[in-house]
Structure 1
Amino acid sequence: MANENTAKLAVLIDADNARPMIVDGLLAEVAKYGTAHVKRIYGDWTGPNLGGWKAALLDHSIQPIQQFAYTSGKNATDSAMIIDAMDLLYAERFDGFCIVSSDSDFTRLASRIREAGLIVYGFGERKTPLPFVSACDKFIYTDRLVGTVDSEPEEPKARKSPSELRGDTKLTNLLRNAIDAASDENGWAALSTVGGIVNKRSPDFDSRDYGYSKFSGLINALGLFDIEDRQIGNAKHPYVRNKPRSK
């Protein structure tokens, strides 16, 4: 597996289940994880409902794949996208896939790609069924990237106060348990390792939901952890450990 910043990624977009206003934020987010060597979008381009995508495709060099709706009530687009994904998987040229859809039909596809040892990034709306979210290594809700279709791009989410964060039992337990899992004999854990464990246990976790652009900012704000920077090679790396719980 290549490092994330050099990973070769295939980006496959379900035009029936994604909105054109996400494209700028989507590709910026994809660039955090690697380089999009393939960018394809699937739908019936003979109809008027996908017209909003056409300018975005030209601007971002996304290849449209035509798929006629052969039968009413059957999603031929999903089938075409899954077939292409498997062809790309068997080509063994990629390190990961970005699947852009809110449709649960892609759950098994995500699982199959991961079985082959590749990473899967999912992108979809909040309505995305949990099985698809859980089948991905990392799932990003598209409202984190842009506003809704009827609004201007949304303002950053209000930053939650330390007391609000500490009152979120699910959040604090997730972070404490991840630190315990990654810690050495003295209780210290590399923050990057902790973040990886958090994402494995909760693929849709994102510090931006709490108003913090960085995971380290969220950890600092909670006030529940000791934090120190360690010089390793030419760079400093943050380490964390759980503070003793107050009795």
Structure 2
Amino acid sequence: MTTLPNGNAHLAVLIDADNADASIIEPLLAEVSKFGVASVKRIYGDWTTPQLGSWKHVLLTHSIQPIQQFAYTARKNSTDSAMIIDAMDLLHTGTFDGFCIVSSDSDFTRLASRLRESGKRVVGFGEEKTPDPFVQACDQFVYTEIFRPAPEGDGSGGGTAGRRRPEGELRQDTRLVNLIRLAIDGASGESGWAGLSAVGNLIVKQAPNFDPRNYGYTKLSDLAEAIGLFTLDRSGGSVLIADSRTVAKQKAPAKRATKRTVNATKKAAPTG
């Protein structure tokens, strides 16, 4: 994961009960805690319907406030409107540093954009099926599949999004490799080496849904090493990363210089 700005940031967590799964609420809230403190936790839906029954036993446990929203018209999602209105009311209190929107519904795209326009951090949580416009409208987007238990015998530590991908498959993922290379280029100096944390932050700015866990790796350093195209240096206080091609070029002149020195020594040596 990337470095987070403020662990004490006040967050409003708004959950669309119609488009979220109750079974992942505990790891989801643990993930939210990495971004700040969930000062408000609200969940929206029509609680008179049996479809939301799975949520009822977790609301009290996690102190989540249910907001009743009747479905006045068939096939019209009034829950979305209630969430959007509440989000704007909370925004104008000036109390919150950021918002966590839990839904796979693209109807929240404009809400995410509007909150960011007001200088608020927006973290989205939804399934991999979430439409890309909503994903891109957030500062960061976390796929909830990583919160599901791994299938028996799968050491990935995650669900569909968390399947551990081998080196060959990772190298063929051109988008992934280019994301990391461009971030290294943007965060590095003349040496070509960059701080891993800065690289991770740049990647998320370019791709809000980037997460090493989507590929089955807990950390960006583990993912970069698994790809096999990058070199990491852990010798200092912080981890540095560079494109292996750059490292190879840096070592090449030193080898040539050593060879010239050896040749010169041979020529200068007295003959018997």
Q: 1:242 Cα deviation (Å)?
A: 1.4
Alignment partners' CA distance in 2, 1:72 and 1:165: 45
Equivalent residue for 1:168, pick from 165, 173, 177: 173
Work out whether 1:240 is the aligned partner of 2:241: yes
1:175-186 paired onto structure 2 within 5 Å: 175-186=180-191
Alignment partners' CA distance in 1, 2:75 and 2:69: 14
TM-score (normalised: structure 2): 0.82
Alignment partners' CA distance in 2, 1:49 and 1:158: 29
Equivalent residue for 2:197, pick from 181, 192, 217: 192
Partner letter of residue 111 of structure 1?
A: S
Alignment partners' CA distance in 1, 2:45 and 2:181: 44
Question: How many residue pairs are counted as aligned between the two chains?
Answer: 239
Instruction: Summarize deviations over 1:15-70 as a string: whole Å, max 9, x none.
Output: 11111112112111111111111000001112221111011101100000111112
Partner letter of residue 21 of structure 2?
A: R
Which structure has the larger Rg?
2
Equivalent residue for 2:92, pick from 90, 93, 106: 90
Corresponding residue number in structure 1 for 2:123: 121
Corresponding residue number in structure 2 for 1:66: 68
Work out whether 1:229 is the aligned partner of 2:239: no
Partner letter of residue 238 of structure 1?
A: V
TM-score (normalised: structure 1): 0.90
Equivalent residue for 2:49, pick from 21, 43, 47: 47
Q: 1:105 Cα deviation (Å)?
A: 0.6
Q: 1:230 Cα deviation (Å)?
A: 6.3
Query: Secondary structure at 1:60's aligned position in 2?
Result: coil
Corresponding residue number in structure 1 for 2:32: 30
Query: Larger deviation: 185-194 or 99-108?
Result: 185-194
Instruction: Summarize deviations over 1:104-128 as a string: whole Å, max 9, x none.
Output: 1100000011111111110111211
Partner letter of residue 197 of structure 1?
A: L
1:138-177 paired onto structure 2 within 5 Å: 138-146=140-148, 156=157, 157-177=162-182
Q: Which has the higher strand share?
A: 1
Equivalent residue for 1:105, pick from 89, 92, 107: 107
Query: Secondary structure at 2:217's aligned position in 1?
Result: coil
Identity %: 59
Corresponding residue number in structure 2 for 1:220: 225
Q: 1:80 to 1:158 in 2, by over 3 A?
A: closer
Question: Is the Cα contact below 8 Å between 2:221 and 2:232 reproduced in 1?
Answer: no
Partner letter of residue 30 of structure 1?
A: V
Alignment partners' CA distance in 2, 1:162 and 1:147: 23
Partner letter of residue 74 of structure 1?
A: K
Alignment partners' CA distance in 2, 1:212 and 1:60: 28
Q: 1:225 Cα deviation (Å)?
A: 2.0
Q: CA RMSD in A?
A: 2.2
Q: Structure 1 residue runs of 4+, over 6 Å off?
A: none
Equivalent residue for 1:205, pick from 197, 202, 210: 210
Corresponding residue number in structure 2 for 1:56: 58
Runs (5+) with no aligned partner, structure 1: none
Instruction: Summarize deviations over 1:109-157 as a string: whole Å, max 9, x none.
Output: 0001111111111011121111001101111111111259xx99x8624
Alignment partners' CA distance in 2, 1:19 and 1:5: 26
Partner letter of residue 203 of structure 1?
A: P
Q: 1:162 Cα deviation (Å)?
A: 2.5
Q: 1:188 Cα deviation (Å)?
A: 1.7
Query: Secondary structure at 1:174's aligned position in 2?
Result: helix
Question: Is the Cα contact below 8 Å between 2:12 and 2:96 reproduced in 1?
Answer: yes
